[in-house]
Each structure stands twice: as C-alpha cells, then as structure tokens.
Amino acid sequence: MTNPSASALSASALSRMPDPSEFVPELKDVSAALFRATGNRSVPRTTTSLVHLRAGQIVGNTYLTVLNTGFLRKAGESEERITAVSSWQDAPYFTGAERAALALVEATLQPAPHGRERVTDALYAEVAEHYDEKALATLTIAIGQINFFIALAVIGKPRPVDSLADQQWD
C-alpha cells in the first residue's frame, strides 16, 4: 500500500463549511491587516511561523500545522527545526528569542494551573529580554492573529494546504 501525497489528501479533503469570506467579505480586510501588523519586521517571519505552528499543534489542527509547516519549508527552514517545534523545550535548534516566543504562545493557549496566571511576570520578563517594545507588541498580535485563525480552522475545518494560494474552502 502506498502513502497518498499531501496534495492528493488536500484534493480529497472537504471543508466543513464554505469560505466564510464569501458571506463576510470584511474577513479579507481583517486578515490582510493582521498580516501587515505582524509583518513589520520587528519579529522575524520565521519566528511568527514557528509560533503559529506550535499553536496549531497545541489545538490539534491539521490545517494550521500543514499551512505553517509549508511556510517554514518555503522560508528554507530545516526539517529538524520544523519537526522539533512540538518538543522545542529540549531541542537544540532554537534561539533564546524563539524559545521565549514558543513559551509565550504555549502559556497563552494552554490552561494555567489552578489559581495561577497563564503568562507570569517571570515569563513576560524572559520574553522582554529578547524583544523590544515594538517586537513584543508584534509578537502579542501574532499570537492574537493565530487565535483568530484557530476559530476559523477548528470550526470551519478548511482543507489542509501548504500555501494560502491553494484552494482551502469548498
């Protein structure tokens, strides 16, 4: 038995809903604005994609993990780095700044232990050691950006694609 290619899987997978921007055209404006806001070069695009990949892994969403893996591959990232995002804490492939960003997205998306903050002062201070005020604001927006897309991805279940140019919605 052979393994189907990713493109064969993408072609056969059906979205749960049609493209929401057909019904709410402002969605394209919101999406474009978020990409502009996070593309201000204060945080490397690779770091943003690593954060978005980790978010997709945390929520268990194939669409987000395939899409952000595709972005990282197109940016020339190694398979070792891409694969190790799920176990970044003990992987030797990430910079201190990337580790801080990955810790921040995990703290934001995962439930905090009872009675504790998700993002502690210590974690915030660690992230602030690596990012200036503009970059920290941008990283925060990037985490908000992926949270916005998580809702669309887990509810709408778009077809997994490795490029935004590919057909995602049925």
Instruction: Kindly report, residue by residue over 1-53, the tens digit of the pLDDT.
Output: 344 444 444 445 688 999 999 999 999 999 999 999 999 999 999 999 999 99
pTM of the model: 0.89
pLDDT at site 10 = 43
Query: Is domain 41-156 annotated with CATH 1.20.1290.10?
Result: yes
pLDDT at site 2 = 42
Residue 31: alpha-carbon gap to chain centroid: 14
pLDDT at site 114 = 87
| Residue-range domain boundaries for the chain | 41-156
pLDDT at site 13 = 64
Residue where the block lists tokens 């232990």: 113
The residues, any chain, with a CB within 8 Å of residue 38's CB and separated by 6 or more, are: 48, 138, 141, 142, 145
The arithmetic mean of pLDDT across residues 76-99, rounded, is 98
Q: What percent of the chain has pLDDT over 70?
A: 92
Whether the per-residue pLDDT at 89 is higher than 80: the answer is yes
CA separation for the pair 153, 159 (Å, rounded)? 9
* 89-to-85, 106, 163 alpha-carbon distances in Å: 9, 11, 28
